[in-house]
């Protein structure tokens, strides 16, 4: 039996300029020098400990990985994240598909975040031409060029353009690479299909990003710091646009997962910060740690000297230093805590707003 598919080519896209946005650069973005609020003495001590661990890790050349949910970008914290990169305190950033999108929209138009409830009722939620067209095209081109998910979008923002090969160039490459490099051939086929379907012209496609200085992805690309994107298929609004190409998404996202896993493989003596990510961060970390530990054990070693700080708004009355709670305890179902409590090393949990946490962490590191 063949399941029928929705024809998204028939869905009407609207100009992004017509959308009412809830977050604006000039009104809502956070300055790294802003003062944090609502942090308890316990929170301050935990952040002080984390800052010390980060500085020690960087002194020893160990990685500091910061994985975060989309609200970190949506809450206007891009300047703080950029500052962490510029000072060399963070060596790897990771976010989900929505984080990639909000960062791009801020760079492109200086605003992001729509009213989902109202948009659904009007049949327009997520149906925005520029967001779907340019991010998907950037990922299609990036996958062909061998870039990861975050790098593909970050380079497009920083360069304010994409370089589109001619169809005949792709056709020759497909014929040449078919037997010895089928994966390159497949990526060329995918890009060729997009170029033909949308009638795209060869050469440099200018895509102005007037607010790119606020983009974390662009800063990471410019500073040569890995920024990996970890999407889940169908979770993000770019899947509504006919430019979306599943194979290209998969190529770019797979590359980023393996880049993330490589960073985790060096985490012994390093620091992992998970901020506001209840699903993405714990899921990719546990798979990466399993592979990394497998390789470490094969070398006669073990990864055990890592420090993990998990930050979220949810309160937890369980003492995670005592191990995992029983299944009849509600804390057992705080997945982002349960997963990290199983990962060895030292784990701390902090219930705090991501704005307050990152501002205080920045302040402590700069002191």
Q: Render pLDDT for 40-59 as a digit per residue (tens, 0 to 9).
A: 999 999 999 999 999 999 99
Instruction: Note whether residue 308 is domain-resident.
Output: yes
C-alpha atoms less than 13 angstroms from C-alpha of 109 in its C-beta half-sphere: 19
Q: Tens digit of pLDDT for each residue in 333-363?
A: 888 888 999 999 999 999 999 999 999 999 9
- Give the number of other CB atoms < 10 A from CB of residue 356: 18
Residue spans of alpha helices (H) in the chain: 25-28, 41-59, 71-74, 78-86, 97-109, 116-122, 129-145, 149-159, 167-177, 182-198, 216-223, 246-264, 280-298, 335-341, 354-366
Torsion, Cα 90 301 310 272, to 10 degrees, reads: 10
What's the mean pLDDT in 145-172? 97
Instruction: Note whether residue 289 is domain-resident.
Output: yes
Q: How confident is the model at residue 330 (pLDDT cuts 50, 70, 90)?
A: confident
Region of poorest pLDDT, from 10-19, 293-302, 328-337, 351-360? 328-337
Tokens encoding 206: 């200018």
CA pair distance 260, 78, nearest whole angstrom: 20
Q: Tens digit of pLDDT for each residue in 83-142?
A: 999 999 999 999 999 999 999 999 999 999 999 999 999 999 999 999 999 999 999 999
Q: What is the CATH number of the domain that holds 106?
A: 3.40.910.10
The total number of structural domains in the chain stands at: 1
CA pair distance 240, 363, nearest whole angstrom: 40
Instruction: Note whether residue 190 is domain-resident.
Output: no
What's the mean pLDDT in 232-251? 96
Widest CA span in the chain: 65
Tokens encoding 107: 């760079």
The b-or-e profile of 60-75 (16+ CB within 10 A means b, else e) is eebbbbbbbbbbbbbb
pLDDT at 1 over 80: no
Q: What percent of the chain has pLDDT over 70?
A: 100
pLDDT of residue 179: 85
Q: How confident is the model at residue 26 (pLDDT cuts 50, 70, 90)?
A: confident
Instruction: Note whether residue 319 is domain-resident.
Output: yes
pLDDT at 180 over 90: no
Domain containing residue 321: 26-111+213-239+246-366
Give, in order, the Cα–Cα distances in Å from 215 to each of 53, 151, 188, 315, 341.
27, 12, 29, 31, 32
Give, in order, the Cα–Cα distances in Å from 321 to each of 142, 318, 331, 353.
42, 9, 13, 22
Contacts of 314 (CB under 8 A, 6+ apart): 334, 351
pLDDT of residue 245: 94
| Mean residue pLDDT across the chain | 95
φ, ψ of residue 66 in degrees (nearest 5):
-120, 110
Instruction: Note whether residue 362 is domain-resident.
Output: yes
CA nearest 219: which of 361, 360, 51, 32?
32
Instruction: Note whether residue 359 is domain-resident.
Output: yes
Instruction: Note whether residue 226 is domain-resident.
Output: yes
Taking CA 255 as the corner, what is the angle to CA 252 and CA 259, rounded to the nearest 5 degrees?
135
CA pair distance 61, 294, nearest whole angstrom: 23
Tokens encoding 29: 């973005």
Give, in order, the Cα–Cα distances in Å from 346 to each of 290, 321, 342.
17, 8, 10
Instruction: Note whether residue 334 is domain-resident.
Output: yes
């Amino acid at each position: 039996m063949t399941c029928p598919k929705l024809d998204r080519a028939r869905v009407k896209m609207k100009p992004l300029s017509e959308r009412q946005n809830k977050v604006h650069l000039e009104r809502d973005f956070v300055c790294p020098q802003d003062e944090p609020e609502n942090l308890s003495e316990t929170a301050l001590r935990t952040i002080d400990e984390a800052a010390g661990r980060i500085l020690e890790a960087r002194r020893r050349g160990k990685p500091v990985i910061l994985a975060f949910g989309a609200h970190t970008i949506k809450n206007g914290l891009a300047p703080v994240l950029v500052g962490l990169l510029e000072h060399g305190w963070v060596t790897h950033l990771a976010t989900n598909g929505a984080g990639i999108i909000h960062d791009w929209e801020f760079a492109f138009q200086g605003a992001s975040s729509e009213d989902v409830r109202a948009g659904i009722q009007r049949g327009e939620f997520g149906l925005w031409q520029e967001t779907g067209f340019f991010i998907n095209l950037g990922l299609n081109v990036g996958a062909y060029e061998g870039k990861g998910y975050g790098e593909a979008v970050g380079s497009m923002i920083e360069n304010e353009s994409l370089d589109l090969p001619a169809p005949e160039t792709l056709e020759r490459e497909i014929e040449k690479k078919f037997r010895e490099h089928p994966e390159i051939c497949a990526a060329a086929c995918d890009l060729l299909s997009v170029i033909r379907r949308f009638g795209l012209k060869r050469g440099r496609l200018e895509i102005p990003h007037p607010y790119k200085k606020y983009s974390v992805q662009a800063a990471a690309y410019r500073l040569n710091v890995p920024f990996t994107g970890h999407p889940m298929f169908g979770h993000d609004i770019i899947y509504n646009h006919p430019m979306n190409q599943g194979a290209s998404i998969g190529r770019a996202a797979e590359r980023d997962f393996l880049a993330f896993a490589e960073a985790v493989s060096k985490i012994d003596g390093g620091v992992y910060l998970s901020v506001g990510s209840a699903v993405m961060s714990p899921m990719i970390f546990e798979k990466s740690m399993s592979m990394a530990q497998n390789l470490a054990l094969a070398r006669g070693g073990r990864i055990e000297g890592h420090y993990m700080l998990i930050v979220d708004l949810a309160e937890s009355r369980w003492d995670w230093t005592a191990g995992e709670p029983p299944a009849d305890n509600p804390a057992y179902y705080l997945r982002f805590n349960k997963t990290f409590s199983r990962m060895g090393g030292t784990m701390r949990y902090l219930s705090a707003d991501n704005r307050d946490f990152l501002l205080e962490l920045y302040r402590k590191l700069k002191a």
